[in-house]
Amino acid sequence: MTRPRSNFRRIRANRAAIAAGILLLLSAAARAHAQDSPRSKDLSLKLMCVCGCNQILGQCNHIGCSYSHEMLRELDERVARSEPDDLTLQAFVQEYGPTVLAEPPAKGFNRAAWLMPVVVPMFSLYLVWEVVRRWRRRGAIAAASARKVSPELLARAQRESGAEAPGDSHE
């Protein structure tokens, strides 16, 4: 009678192994499906690979990069669990630091870093335009005042310099 019981245990163990195998296949299929999802691809374009190649995570072609494969696997698992995008990105920031984000959040100094390349050249152009405008105005004023020399001052300057005044000839 001990034989039928051992067969029963063996059948039960086989069923458990088959169930575990099916669960493993289903979880692998869910991960494979997550890799194909547009959401996973979109999120991978918002993250940087941390291996030092300075490439977007979804486009890292660094040969032998262990970071990108691990990060993509973690990203796929989070997408498969239907975590919100913000929570997923925040988890990556907590694990790898703020440099993992391809586009830093627009707040504080980051906002200034985004605005400076636009604002500084525009302000510089305005400043150059204003300086040139003032120089021109100052030059026009100087030219206008140079024309208004009185004939008496002109005659005095010529006398003092020793030059003859027009129309004064000593013949």
> 69 in a domain, yes or no?
yes
**Would residue 167 count as lying in a domain?**
no
* Collapsed DSSP state (helix, strand, coil) of residue 37: coil
Note the pTM of the prediction, 2 decimals: 0.46
171 in a structural domain: no
Q: Is residue 100 part of a domain?
A: yes
Q: Which residues of 59-76 are buried (b: 16+ CB within 10 A; e: fewer)?
A: ebeeeebebbeebbeebb
Residue 99, helix vs strand vs coil: helix
Q: 3-state DSSP: the chain helix, strand, coil percent, rounded to 5?
A: 75, 0, 25
List the pLDDT tens digit at each of the 171 positions of the chain.
445 566 777 777 778 778 777 766 665 554 444 455 788 888 888 888 888 788 888 887 877 777 888 888 888 888 888 888 889 999 989 998 888 888 877 777 777 877 888 999 999 999 999 999 999 888 777 776 666 777 888 888 889 988 665 555 554
Q: Are residues 85 and 19 in the same domain?
A: yes
Instruction: Give the number of domains in the chain.
Output: 2
Q: In this structure, are 8 and 43 located in the same domain?
A: yes
Residue 11's domain comprises 2-110
Report the alpha-carbon distance of residue 22 to residue 161 in Å, rounded: 113
Provide the 3-class DSSP secondary structure of residue 153: helix
Residue 21 inside a domain? The answer is yes
User: Is residue 21 located within the same domain as residue 91?
Assistant: yes
Q: Are residues 8 and 87 in the same domain?
A: yes
* Domain co-membership, 11 together with 95: yes
